[in-house]
Amino acid sequence: MGPCVQFDANYWKSRLRDAFQVPLGDQAKSTVSIFGRQPREHRLLADHETSEYFLRVEARGRTVEQWQPRPGDPDNHWLDGSVGNFVAASLLGIRLPAAELPTRPAPPRRGKRKATAINL
């Protein structure tokens, strides 16, 4: 069996959402966008990327964003793929500029990093 990676999907979905919210053309930050001149060509991808919503959940003295599928069981496979790409980039050491890091506090660590590779 190949390498296995464990990560906090809620954290990385929030990171992806944050990258989508950066205005196009912002020179100080990188952005993620899917639409060019032909939005209809990317409609399916947009549907997948917006197939979940988050709720702020408070427990044990901290608040986190918990992502859930929208009613109607929409497909979210490409959202999961985008999140996986963010995680893979992080494992490879690719980082966004410091100005782009989220301002919300990081979740408390329980002896694990955000993403760890395990060779089995």
**Per-residue tens of pLDDT for the chain, all 120 residues:** 888 999 999 999 999 999 889 887 776 677 888 877 888 889 999 999 999 999 999 989 999 999 999 998 789 999 999 999 999 999 999 876 654 455 556 666 665 545 555 444
Q: CB of 32 within 8 A of CB of 18?
A: no
Q: What is the pLDDT of residue 108?
A: 63
Q: CB of 87 within 8 A of CB of 80?
A: no
Give the three-class secondary structure for 59: strand
Q: What is the pLDDT of residue 92?
A: 93
Q: What is the pLDDT of residue 104?
A: 59
Nearest Cα neighbor of 100 from 47, 11, 27 is 27
Element (H, E) at 85: helix 77-91
How many other CB atoms are found less than 10 A from the CB of residue 83?
22
Nearest Cα neighbor of 30 from 95, 114, 83 is 95
Q: What is the pLDDT of residue 55?
A: 97
Cα gap 65→59, rounded to integer Å = 11
DSSP 38: -
